Amino acid sequence: MTTVEKLVPMVKRIAARFRPVVYGTADREDLVQEGYVGLLEAATRYEPGRGCTLSTWGARRANGAMLDHIRVLSRRSRERPVDIPTQRQEFEWHRNAEHRSPESREVLVRFGRFMRRAWTDLDTPLRDVIRMRFLEGASMRETARALECSAATVVRREKKALGELREGYRASGYGRKC
């Protein structure tokens, strides 16, 4: 067994640290593969005279390759392909779908009532962020540009608005079975 083969389990351990970030099984497998590529590159570029072991050097290169892969995945997820419906279109499809049970339709009707009431209670800046992000399907940057604020402000407003809506829904009793 070569030295590089002995380091393969290390790559899997490094990939396991990224589980909260990478959701799909295929993405996790891709992440491990990227780690293997990073390890192989480390083995070809390794110079023993630099004062670190191949294990240390390989771990850094494998970790870096995995981070690069995650960056590519997150960049890809921020791009919005034209043929993917916005969240509003998706909601409308689910609301009008004939395959829904009467109980599901009843829950959607109650949720719609709650949202109409809660929508007016939200401050205008929070309402604008929710409208753009969830109903129009705008990205964080598009929303920030349109509202003339920073992306960090959009994140804070979105988090605050969703928190207010969540707490209001819990307190309202709309979510309970009639």
Please name the amino acid found at residue 119: W
**Looking at this protein, which amino acid is placed at residue 51?**
G
* CA 172, 89, 71, 151 torsion-angle sign: negative
Domain 3-78, architecture per CATH = Orthogonal Bundle (1.10)
Supply 95's token pair: 């609301």
Looking at the chain, the whole-number percentage of residues with pLDDT higher than 70 is 74
Task: Return per-residue pLDDT of the chain as tens, 178 residues.
Answer: 567 788 888 888 888 887 776 666 557 788 889 889 998 888 888 888 888 888 888 888 898 888 888 877 766 555 544 444 455 555 565 555 555 566 666 777 777 788 888 888 899 999 999 888 877 878 888 899 999 999 899 999 999 999 998 888 888 876 665 4
pLDDT digits (tens, 9 = 90+) for 122-167: 999 999 998 888 778 788 888 999 999 998 999 999 999 999 988 8
Residues of the chain with CATH 1.10.10.10: 87-172
By the 8 A CB rule, do 137 and 131 touch? no
What share of residues in the chain are helix, strand, coil (percent, to 5)?
75, 0, 25
Q: What pLDDT, on the 0 to 100 scale, is given for residue 28? A: 76
Out of 2.30.30.100, 2.30.30.830, 1.10.10.10, 1.20.1250.20, the CATH code matching 87-172 is 1.10.10.10
Instruction: Pinpoint the residues of the chain covered by CATH 1.10.1740.10.
Output: 3-78
